[in-house]
Chains A and B, each alone.
Chain A
Amino acid sequence: MNVALFYALTGAGIFTLGLHGVIIYRHLLRKIMAINIMGSGVFLVLAGLARRVPAGPPDPVPHAMVITGIVVAVAATALALVLLLRLLDVSGSVVLPDNEEE
């Protein structure tokens, strides 16, 4: 197994851990953080796969996608955090309501 593939597999593991967090945590801040961890996993997969070249500098296209993705992830996180604050303002709760409780 080469180094590039090791990074990509690690990225897949981080992505899966993040998805696990999104599912099991009820606190929305934790969910937002878990989604960011998922995103980091995807970036690591892209950066790892870009390194599969035989020699020389890595493939620039996945790197450009990662740069684009980071900025989008930051913007989406900011929007999610403000939505969370708004939910706290309106309902006083930081978790989404359960259907069974209604």
Chain B
Amino acid sequence: MSSGGARLARSSRETLPVWQRLLIAALMLALFAGLALALLSLPGQSEGLRQEVAAQLARSGVSHPVTAVLINFRGYDTLLEMAVLLLALVGVWSLAPAAQLRLERAGAVLERLAQLYGPLMLLVAGYLLWRGAHAPGGAFQAGAVLGAAGVLMLLAGRHPAASLTGWPLRLVAVLGLALFAAIAALLLAGGGALLQFPPEHAARLILLIETAAAISIGATLAALFLGGQHGGGAAR
């Protein structure tokens, strides 16, 4: 992809005639006016669903409303989101085999930085995960930091062993979704509604789901980076 920069410059907007660009700009302005009108027509003050969330917060198992919404009240969102992440990973893997690694050797600074930051990022991820129960934080933030740690390791030339990128990586990537779905199925079998956590166990269940989700999100994000890393033409 050495010619990528040249292509990027060449194929920018000069291919469109002026009247088309003006028309598109006018349409975009009209769209913005419509969106602005819609936003301005909303009531200037609104409680939203805050009161409803606050009323049920004590039964959710956590004290931070956003985490309660994410894992408990709107657990569907998070469950399906884990499925979307997994689907993206399956898509990436089916287009570009992860075995095709051609990363260059990193410089000494990056290697040293990765050595210093790797453990620190693991610690931060664990802290964010635990913190999510009562303050901003949680599985996604922890997963993002874990994913970033994985990317940093890859950039520093520390590739996972080939034996780890096969079944172990797949198991870790599915872990979050599988555990979430299994808990949902068990609750369903136990006579409750889907994803309706009993309040007395909610705290433990949420921590369990969040831990698995954070590990899966981190592994998936790093694997997405790895999967897209192959050089042009190397995959086939």
For A64, what are the chain B residues with a Cβ–Cβ distance below 8 Å?
66, 69-70, 74, 77
Are A25 and B7 CB-contacts (below 8 A) given A5-B44, A59-B47?
Answer: no
Q: In the complex, A49 Cα to B33 Cα: how many Å?
A: 18
Q: Which of chain B's residues has its CB closest to A13's CB?
A: B32
Q: In the complex, A70 Cα to B84 Cα: how many Å?
A: 12
Q: How far is the CB of B74 from chain A (nearest CB, A)?
A: 6
Instruction: Select one of B29, B48, B69, B233 contacting A52, CB under 8 A.
Output: B48
Q: How far is the CB of A31 from chain B (nearest CB, A)?
A: 11
For B116, what are the chain A residues with a Cβ–Cβ distance below 8 Å?
none
A24 touches B91 (CB 8 A): no
Instruction: Select one of A5, A50, A76 contacting B39, CB under 8 A.
Output: A5
Interface string of B5-23 (1 = CB under 8 A from A): 0011001110110000100
Instruction: Select one of A2, A12, A75 contacting B220, CB under 8 A.
Output: A75
Are A68 and B77 CB-contacts (below 8 A) given A78-B224, A89-B235?
Answer: yes
Total number of A-B contacts with CB less than 8 angstroms?
A: 166
B88 touches A76 (CB 8 A): yes
Interface residues on B, range: 35 or more
B48 touches A53 (CB 8 A): yes
A85 touches B42 (CB 8 A): no
- Residue B133, interface by CB 8 Å: no
Instruction: Select one of B24, B36, B220, B227 contacting A20, CB under 8 A.
Output: B24
Q: How far is the CB of B234 from chain A (nearest CB, A)?
A: 8
Q: Which of chain A's residues has its CB closest to B40's CB?
A: A5
B42 touches A49 (CB 8 A): yes
Q: In the complex, A13 Cα to B221 Cα: how many Å?
A: 29
Are A72 and B81 CB-contacts (below 8 A) given A67-B66, A85-B230?
Answer: yes
Interface residues of A in 4-35 (CB under 8 A from B): 5, 8-9, 12-13, 15-17, 19-20, 23-27, 29-30
A24 touches B21 (CB 8 A): yes
For B228, what are the chain A residues with a Cβ–Cβ distance below 8 Å?
78, 81-82, 85
Instruction: Select one of B1, B50, B96, B217 contacting A82, CB under 8 A.
Output: B96
For B32, what are the chain A residues with a Cβ–Cβ distance below 8 Å?
12-13, 16
B224 touches A27 (CB 8 A): no
Instruction: Select one of B8, B47, B225 contacting A53, CB under 8 A.
Output: B47
**Chain B residues proximal to chain A, CB less than 8 Å:** 1, 4, 7-8, 11-13, 15-16, 21, 24-25, 28-29, 31-32, 35-36, 39-40, 42-50, 53, 65-66, 68-70, 74, 77-78, 81, 84-85, 87-89, 91-92, 95-96, 138, 140-141, 143-144, 217, 220-221, 224-225, 227-228, 230, 232-233, 235-236
**Chain A residues proximal to chain B, CB less than 8 Å:** 2, 5, 8-9, 12-13, 15-17, 19-20, 23-27, 29-30, 45, 49-50, 52-54, 56-65, 67-68, 70-72, 74-76, 78-79, 81-83, 85-86, 88-89, 94-95
